[in-house]
Amino acid sequence: MIVQKVTTGFVIQRLRINEKGCEWVSQEFVAGDDVTWERIKDNEVEVLSDYDDCIPTHVLEEYSNEYLEYHMKQPCEMTKVEVVSLPCYGIKLKFNTETGVSTLISSDLGNDAIESMILAHAAAGVDIQSPAYIEGIETAADALDNYLDDIE
């Protein structure tokens, strides 16, 4: 039998802002008083009215005052991310600096297909910062705009 204690609370995240920019410096979880106990059996979750309903007395006596830390990874422990900005359509990609993989893109293109293509090319190792590639993005976006204007 698995019993889980679900604690409601909130997260405090600290951001250092100075003339050089911004940097996340720490975060912590602060537990509230709202606690729900749940029993998991055969992939079904049953919400219990109290932990007395699910924990044998001998276990309860031994562990009732036990407390596990609410440890959160601190920013210095997390994977670092590099932001690459392209000089057209406000395109920004976030890369995992350990793997070199980009999984997030934002832009003013308003077109998921072109953004997906850029992500796929970046993942395949294409130099998305080269002048020829930037020109290709601009050409594709212009052609798509012209096509959409023609069908309206």
Taking 70 as the threshold, does the pLDDT of residue 60 lie above it?
A: no
Tell me: the pLDDT tens digits for 95-135?
A: 877 777 777 888 998 888 899 899 889 888 899 999 999 99
Which helix (H) or strand (E) segment holds residue 9: the answer is strand 2-18
The whole domain housing 134 covers: 79-151
Residues 36 and 98 in one domain: no
Residues 94 and 139 in one domain: yes
Taking 70 as the threshold, does the pLDDT of residue 19 lie above it?
A: yes
* Distance separating alpha carbons of residues 23 and 19, to the nearest angstrom: 11
- How many CB atoms within 10 Å of residue 61? 10
pLDDT at 136 (0 to 100) = 95
Burial class (CB in 10 A: 0-12, 13-18, 19+), 122: buried
CA dist 16 → 27, 57, 73 (Å): 12, 48, 17
Residues 6+ away with beta carbon under 8 Å from 26: 13, 14, 74, 75
Its pTM surpasses 0.85: no
Domain boundary residue, one of 75, 90, 109:
75
